[in-house]
Structure 1
């Protein structure tokens, strides 16, 4: 079988973070995540499982993209009635981020700073900020021994 998505090695993620900084002036970002409803015909005997808040039948594609808007990770097939956060929590993408299985680069300082801050995947829309609940950030922070001051910055920047 042909692999079309890149292997998310630490080196690849470091290059992606550098591209986000160069193209979008966004430091320590290794991807952007969002969900998209894909319109479909109503499946037989599906009831309202695929009927979404936009009032049509759909499946949801959840994806992480790089700075060039190329797919890094994709999860397809969730029911249209589910929201991004629920899909994220049950997806392989969500589990891998929560369990810190993605090979994120080591924390490094933000521009004009000396304190190391972890790299992260950022939500494209405000409603997906649930992905960065305190619990998830705490896991990431505990795993990288980031200072309390950097933690406050992360919590503030991800709650915008």
Structure 2
């Protein structure tokens, strides 16, 4: 097992979590952290007063995954966190996890690190973007085919209605 600790910009949290959800990783730990690198500090305005801060706010995401999924997870984090601007998009650290224990059940190993919902489904469901909420939802292949068929039926019935009205 490996633990990925990614320190990213706060506004990229949704992009990174969506990228990880897109490859099937649903469980993560998110922590608000602060620190500095080469450029030390920044200015903040709070209630019309400017304050100098030595530390820059960041978000730390921690994910424990199997060794086989490491490269996919790293690519997803990089894809989600990259802004293309200078000034530091963050850092990723990968460490070895010798053992994981789920406190409630006492299970040990990889199944203790992954949420049960991730273990149960992934092989037969696909991510689909929801237009209303811009969130990714997961549907089975059968549900996706039914949605496509319903959409085709609606389109063909509206096309037939248009032809009858024009003649």
Structure with greater proportional strand content: 2
Q: Same fold (TM over 0.5)?
A: no
The structure with more radius of gyration:
2
What TM-score does the superposition give when structure 1 sets the normalisation length?
0.23
